[in-house]
Amino acid sequence: MINKLINIFKKVNEDQNPWKDERSENVYAVAALFNTPNEIIHAAEKVSGDGYKDFDVNTPYPVHGMDDAMKLKPTRLGWFSFALGLTGTLTALSMIFYMNGIDYNNIIGGKPFFNFPPSIPVTFALTILFTGLTTAGVLIALFSKLPWLNNPLLDSDYSKATSQDKYGIYIKSSDPKFNQSEVENLFKSLGSSAVSLIYDSKVNEKKIKTPIFEAGFIKILIGVAIATSAITYITLNWLIFQPPFDWMVLQPKVLPQEKSKIFADGFGMREPVAGTVARGYMPYEYKGMPDSVVKLLSNPLPVNEKTLLTGQKRYDTYCSPCHGNYGKGDSRLRGQFPNPPSLLTDKLINWTDGNIYHVITNGQNVMSSYAKQISRDDRWAIVHYIRALQRSQNAKDSDLN
Amino acid sequence: MSYDATYTKELPLVPERNSFKEIDDVILKPVDSKPTKKWWIAISISGTALAIGLFCWTMTVMYGIGLWGNNNTIGWGFDIVNFVFWIGIGHAGTLISAILFLFRQKWRTAIARFAEAMTIFAVLCATMFVALHTGRPWLDGYLFPYPNQNAIWVNFLSPLNWDVFAVNTYFIISFVFWTIGLIPDFATMRDRTKSGIKKIVYSVLSLGWSNSNRNWQHYERAYLILAGISTPLVLSVHTIVSFDFAVSIIPGWHTTIFPPYFVAGAIFSGFGMVLTVMIFVRKIFDMEHIITLDHIEKMNKILLATGTMVGYAYGMEMFMAWYSGYIFEQFAFLNRAFGPYWWAYWIMVACNVGFPQLFWFKKIRRNIPIMFVLVLLVNVGMWFERFVIIVTSLHRDFLPSSWAMYFPTMYDYGILLGSFGLFFTLILLFVRVLPSVAISEIKAVVPGAQPTHHNEGGSH
């Protein structure tokens, strides 16, 4: 397999013309070579003066005065650079205005969020970037119509001479005034050192109008798309999670449920020191006691907006998954477990605050204790909120007064 | 073209204009021939340096920048010293290719391609340091503003963010400028080569360029525009790099002279590096006829000018510290010259201001061995300039309790060595695979290359 590849490689390397550029019978152009810049300027003046339009001059470097001799219009490339450079300016300014001025404000020493002077460097850089890239892109694609590897001139002796030390001019057969013998005579009379015919390449004869719809091109496009997607997928989903790109996941610390080498018993998770209680987690003194004992407990929190909002937030987080957003017991768990009871029944309305608090703290039937998840004050706030729900869901006309 | 007369005298290149083939042969000799022994020795040295650098680089990525000598007080050490140093090196290339082009300094053609390549490689080395000093370089994508799941945008008030834009733009534009210049040369190489593989490669790279005048017309304008935009760009890049310091409130950094001072220093150090490399290249590849002693003398004059500008900046900093009446600023500068890092300061002053004064003498400007020593000293001096600015300003804080010294580790030295390895490896590969002198440009300035009879150049 590898030998085969090496052989192919060698074969291509020895072949001086691997393009297999087959030429057709059609004359593409008549070309002439000259030895000095003066001669080529003279030839270009004569050809353009005779009214030929489809002609061009090939020189190893730009020859001064050739544009005038060929009667070319001044290039309009600069306008493209200017317009697209201006686009860069506006892009940068609007980008900064949106990102820092509107969407994400940075508070830095009380300075305005969008500020023109510090925007100048980035605006300037992007203006240059847009100008440079578009100048290059427009030059290649729009003004030079490159890449054009099927150019019939390429690979001809004419072209090889003009890229080294000769000055060439050619008139295309597509010119309305074109007449092969006349053109040849014209070039000879101008003192050309070599007049030659350039035949069109077979590829150009097919007259492909939109090469982007060619099967070969579409295949390449699909290949590139698949390869790009695969590489992106692998990079984003696999590569960046390999060491050393571990996103600080691997750290010398003990995670929950992990073994510890430090403690003799090997447990990473430790028990509190005997006889101590974590701040805010005083044990519930009525744990497991009957309702009759706890109903005398009274709610220590005042009823105000702040308490109710806290209660609402905690209720929505911890209670609503079973009891429903309005305490009706109509959550989507209904039917999957023993139905969670409604909090709006007469029984609940007649309960004291202490009863409700006791159930939250102690648990009841299937419901387990929430003492570990919700702090003491928040539990009392939930009780207030449940009272608010009970009243609002059974609102009477008299409540309006 | 009136400048031809004065210019061509200084380019004793190839006297007859029918020897364009000779130009092709000389310039493309390293590309067409097998590597010489000298080249293998050179690349094995630079490759070793690169390998050492890659090792330290990998270790830094694996274990973090705790391996470096940076500490709480001196948060910016070799990483930023080397970043500023390499970015500065790059500036000479753009100056030669763009600014001298706008000034119609035609002698630049012989060295422009090479200097541009150096720009690109130097900026690559520089970005390597900033990318690495963020700590987790694989997250450097967040340096650019793009919509992300955290719903945050980069902070456009920060000079560090301006730096991201300036340096990236600089790299891209330098690369585009360089590539556009290479297209006609690829066409020449395509038409010369005898190898099928090379032919395919050059054909694709030349995009099918046919030296048509209808293309040259736009090409010249595009080249002019690119030179025109590169000129303010190159001045802005080191200005923005200097903002990284000048916008802060550290005594020794917080000065308005920094932007011009940095730009002059960048051009100074860049020319030093261009000369260092060029002296070898013209010798190894027999290009003494193309890169002549006259070119080198002109570059030495620029070294003298920019070195003196840098010297003025050193003096002015001292003056401003005294004149401001601000005791912390005064302390910072006295500490620079006479504090624990006095040796770094005086190396900097001697190499950047003292020794280049020898370039006042024409004999020294044209004497390659002496000159080579001097440009090496310039490289050393400019590296120390960045060291002095960064480390000595940081190591004496407002709080004496946090005063500290900076001790670079082997990883710091290794990565610095590796950056030189990367730079010279890329240079050596470049001279092997690409024409190191712009063929089409040099042909255009050879005597007799331009027509004599048209009206444009009246003096003929």
Cβ-nearest to B196 among A18, A118, A136: A18
A202 and A217 within one domain: no
pLDDT of residue B323: 92
Q: Considering only CB atoms, which chain A residues are within 8 Å of B453?
A: 38, 41-42
For residue A244, pLDDT over 80 is answered with no
Q: Which residues contact A67 (CB under 8 A, 6 or more apart)?
A: A74, B213, B217
Last residue of a domain, one of A185, A207, A229: A207
Q: Give pLDDT tens digits for A79-123.
A: 999 999 999 999 999 999 999 999 998 888 888 889 899 999 999
Domain for residue B10, yes or no? no
ipTM: 0.89
Crossing angle for the helix pair B20-32 and B410-433, nearest 10 degrees?
Answer: 130
The mean of the pLDDT values for chain B is 87
Which runs of E-coded beta strand occur in B43-96? none
Instruction: Check B451 against A65: CB less than 8 A apart.
Output: yes
B395: its two tokens: 């190591």
For residue B1, pLDDT over 50 is answered with no
Q: Considering only CB atoms, which chain B residues are within 8 Å of A61?
A: 184, 216, 440-441, 443-444, 449
Q: Is A308 helix (H, G, I), strand (E, B) or coil?
A: helix
Instruction: Check A154 against B233: CB less than 8 A apart.
Output: no
Which run of H or E residues covers position A32?
A: strand A23-34
Helix boundaries (H) for B340-446: 342-349, 362-365, 368-387, 393-395, 410-433, 439-444
A215 and A174 within one domain: no
Residue owning tokens 């508070």: A107
- Nearest residue of B to residue A59 by CA position? B211
Q: Give pLDDT tens digits for B261-305.
A: 999 999 899 999 989 988 888 877 777 777 888 888 888 999 999
A149 and A162 within one domain: yes
Q: Does B138 touch chain A (CB under 8 A)?
A: yes
pLDDT of residue A301: 82
Q: Could you give the number of structural domains in chain A? A: 3
Q: Which residues contact A243 (CB under 8 A, 6 or more apart)?
A: A250, B62
Cα–Cα dist B123/B284, whole Å: 25
For residue A31, pLDDT over 60 is answered with yes
Q: Give pLDDT tens digits for B415-434.
A: 999 999 999 999 999 988 89
The amino acid that residue A195 corresponds to is V
Q: Does B70 touch chain A (CB under 8 A)?
A: no
The distance of A1 to chain B (nearest Cα, Å) reads 20
Q: Does B243 touch chain A (CB under 8 A)?
A: yes
Cα–Cα dist A126/B169, whole Å: 7
For chain B, the straight-line distance linking the first and the last C-alpha, in angstroms and rounded, comes to 8
Least Cα distance to B247 among A94, A39, A118, A248 occurs for A118
Domain for residue A8, yes or no? no
Cβ-nearest to A62 among B155, B226, B444: B444
pLDDT of residue B453: 58
A91 and A130 within one domain: yes
Crossing angle for the helix pair B293-324 and B327-338, nearest 10 degrees?
Answer: 130
Q: Does B452 touch chain A (CB under 8 A)?
A: yes
The amino acid that residue B372 corresponds to is F
A357 and A346 within one domain: yes
Last residue of a domain, one of A174, A207, A240: A207
Instruction: Check A58 against B213: CB less than 8 A apart.
Output: yes
Q: Which residues contact A58 (CB under 8 A, 6 or more apart)?
A: A153, A158, A159, A162, A163, A167, A168, A169, A170, B210, B211, B212, B213
By residue range, what is the domain housing residue A62?
Answer: 19-207
Q: Calculate what percentage of chain B has a pLDDT beyond 70.
A: 94
For residue B13, pLDDT over 60 is answered with no
Instruction: Check B211 against A126: CB less than 8 A apart.
Output: no
Write the DSSP string, A185-243.
HHHHHTT-SEEEEEEEEHHHHT--S-GGGSHHHHHHHHHHHHHHHHHHHHHHHTGGGST
Phi, psi of A41 (to 5 degrees): -60, -45
Cα–Cα dist B459/B99, whole Å: 26
Crossing angle for the helix pair B258-284 and B78-94, nearest 10 degrees?
Answer: 70
Q: Considering only CB atoms, which chain A residues are within 8 Å of B456?
A: 64-65, 68
Domain for residue B330, yes or no? yes
Q: Does B28 touch chain A (CB under 8 A)?
A: no
pLDDT of residue A247: 65
Write the DSSP string, B420-436.
HHHHHHHHHHHHHHS-S
The mean of the pLDDT values for chain A is 85
Confidence class for position A385, pLDDT limits 50, 70, 90: very high
pLDDT of residue B458: 40
pLDDT of residue A216: 82
CB pairs A-B closer than 8 Å: 246
Cα–Cα dist B320/B111, whole Å: 39
> Going edge to edge, which strands form the sheet with A23-34?
A55-58, A167-172, A23-34, A194-201
- Nearest residue of A to residue B239 by CA position? A121
Residue owning tokens 């087959």: A22
Confidence class for position B348, pLDDT limits 50, 70, 90: very high
For residue B3, pLDDT over 70 is answered with no
A62: its two tokens: 């730009």
Domain for residue B455, yes or no? no
Domain for residue B389, yes or no? yes
Residue owning tokens 């480390």: B391
The distance of A250 to chain B (nearest Cα, Å) reads 12
The amino acid that residue A286 corresponds to is Y
For residue B16, pLDDT over 60 is answered with no
pLDDT of residue B12: 46
Domain for residue A11, yes or no? no
Least Cα distance to B265 among B224, B317, B225 occurs for B317
Q: Calculate what percentage of chain B has a pLDDT beyond 90.
A: 52
CATH of the domain at A312: 1.10.760.10
Mean pLDDT of A273-295: 78
Instruction: Check A16 against B211: CB less than 8 A apart.
Output: no
Instruction: Check A122 against B219: CB less than 8 A apart.
Output: no
A162 and A59 within one domain: yes
Confidence class for position A351, pLDDT limits 50, 70, 90: confident
Helix boundaries (H) for B325-367: 327-338, 342-349, 362-365
Cα–Cα dist B302/B296, whole Å: 10
B410: its two tokens: 């082997």
Q: Considering only CB atoms, which chain B residues are within 8 Å of A165?
A: 18, 20-21
- For B46, other C-beta atoms within 10 Å of its C-beta total 20
Instruction: Check B451 against A37: CB less than 8 A apart.
Output: yes
Q: Is A25 helix (H, G, I), strand (E, B) or coil?
A: strand
Domain for residue B8, yes or no? no
Q: Considering only CB atoms, which chain A residues are within 8 Å of B190?
A: 163
Confidence class for position B94, pLDDT limits 50, 70, 90: confident
Strands A194-201 and A23-34, sheet pairing: antiparallel
For residue B24, pLDDT over 90 is answered with no
Q: Does B459 touch chain A (CB under 8 A)?
A: no
pLDDT of residue A146: 82
pLDDT of residue B459: 40
B344: its two tokens: 């770094």
Cβ-nearest to A132 among B191, B226, B440: B226
The distance of B21 to chain A (nearest Cα, Å) reads 6
Contact A334, A274 (CB under 8 A): no
Return the biggest CA–CA distance within chain B.
78
Cα–Cα dist B180/B174, whole Å: 10
A186 and A224 within one domain: no
User: Cα-atom radius of gyration of chain B, to the nearest Å?
Assistant: 23
Cβ-nearest to B1 among A64, A72, A96: A64
For residue B15, pLDDT over 60 is answered with no
Q: Which residues contact A118 (CB under 8 A, 6 or more apart)?
A: B156, B157, B162
Distance of CA B302 to the CA centre of its chain: 14
A140: its two tokens: 């290649």
Domain for residue B457, yes or no? no
Confidence class for position B8, pLDDT limits 50, 70, 90: very low
CATH of the domain at B172: 1.20.1630.10
Confidence class for position A144, pLDDT limits 50, 70, 90: confident
Write the DSSP string, B86-132.
HHHHHHHHHIIIIIHHHTT-GGGHHHHHHHHHHHHHHHHHHHHHHHH
Q: Calculate what percentage of chain A has a pLDDT beyond 70.
A: 95
Instruction: Check A62 against B222: CB less than 8 A apart.
Output: no
Bond prior to B400 in cis (omega within 30° of 0): no
For residue B2, pLDDT over 60 is answered with no
A112 and A216 within one domain: no
Cα–Cα dist B439/A164, whole Å: 10
Strands A167-172 and A55-58, sheet pairing: antiparallel
Domain for residue A283, yes or no? no
The amino acid that residue A322 corresponds to is C
A115 and A237 within one domain: no
Q: Does B152 touch chain A (CB under 8 A)?
A: yes
Handedness of CA A383, A384, A385, A388 (dihedral sign): positive
Mean pLDDT of B56-80: 90
Least Cα distance to B271 among B166, B367, B381, B178 occurs for B381
A201 and A349 within one domain: no
Q: Please list the residues that pair with A170 across neighbouring strands.
A: A31, A56
Instruction: Check A148 against B207: CB less than 8 A apart.
Output: yes
Cα–Cα dist B209/B440, whole Å: 13
Confidence class for position B6, pLDDT limits 50, 70, 90: very low
The distance of A396 to chain B (nearest Cα, Å) reads 46
- Nearest residue of A to residue B455 by CA position? A65
The amino acid that residue B196 corresponds to is G
Task: Number of helices (H) and strands (E) in chain A: give both, helices first.
Answer: 15, 4
Least Cα distance to B36 among B442, B431, B339 occurs for B431
- How far is residue A9 from each of residues A250, B74, B186, B433, measured CA to CA in Å? 47, 55, 21, 19
Mean pLDDT of A154-170: 88
For residue B62, pLDDT over 60 is answered with yes
Mean pLDDT of A391-400: 81
Cβ-nearest to B162 among A115, A121, A128: A121
Least Cα distance to B221 among B96, B101, B95 occurs for B101
Instruction: Check B443 against A18: CB less than 8 A apart.
Output: no
Least Cα distance to B199 among A299, A48, A386, A149 occurs for A149
Least Cα distance to B277 among B114, B127, B439, B40 occurs for B114
Q: Could you give the number of structural domains in chain B? A: 1
Least Cα distance to B303 among B363, B348, B346, B355 occurs for B355
Cα–Cα dist B128/B342, whole Å: 29
Confidence class for position A391, pLDDT limits 50, 70, 90: confident
A203 and A123 within one domain: yes
Q: Give pLDDT tens digits for B375-411.
A: 999 999 999 999 999 999 999 888 889 899 999 999 9
Domain for residue B7, yes or no? no
- Among A45-54, B78-87, B99-108, name the one with the lowest average pLDDT: B99-108
By residue range, what is the domain housing residue B249?
Answer: 16-143+153-444
Q: Considering only CB atoms, which chain B residues are within 8 Å of A140?
A: 207
Instruction: Check B215 against A144: CB less than 8 A apart.
Output: yes
- For A333, other C-beta atoms within 10 Å of its C-beta total 15
pLDDT of residue A16: 61
- How far is residue B105 from each of residues A345, B8, B259, B442, B460, measured CA to CA in Å? 95, 12, 25, 13, 20
A353 and A250 within one domain: no
For residue B4, pLDDT over 50 is answered with no
pLDDT of residue B14: 43
Least Cα distance to A142 among A202, A205, A78 occurs for A78
